[in-house]
Structure 1
């Protein structure tokens, strides 16, 4: 999964949110807040990180995800990871 666009990362994140938490795909927009708009909690966030690690094959450091609040934050964090070798 190298050389992916942010749109592709967004689709992966959206798919993960729908699959893992049975969210409505229409609710998953870049500005949606994970904890308030999508009703996720810290355990859900960990599940999301684990899922994204499996999808990307990259290790995600908890510190990199501690500041994540919106869907767009997740997309940006994953996109940054994918740039690294």
Structure 2
């Protein structure tokens, strides 16, 4: 295999691992946040507005982590900076 093939192969494997972890961990965090919100709603139903507002803000921040990971993975796959050094 050539150097170009190795760089493409390793960057593809790294991107696959990064997207797997970058989506799995925020998904676990979102599930935990939702379960805690439901538990607190069961204990104090009168504070539903406050809990739901805080939950949605937290979920948006957690989801942004997965989106940032997706952007980095797409950069690695389609605009690989390592290939520029190899082509020179």
Q: TM-score, normalised by structure 2?
A: 0.31
Q: Which has the larger radius of gyration?
A: 2
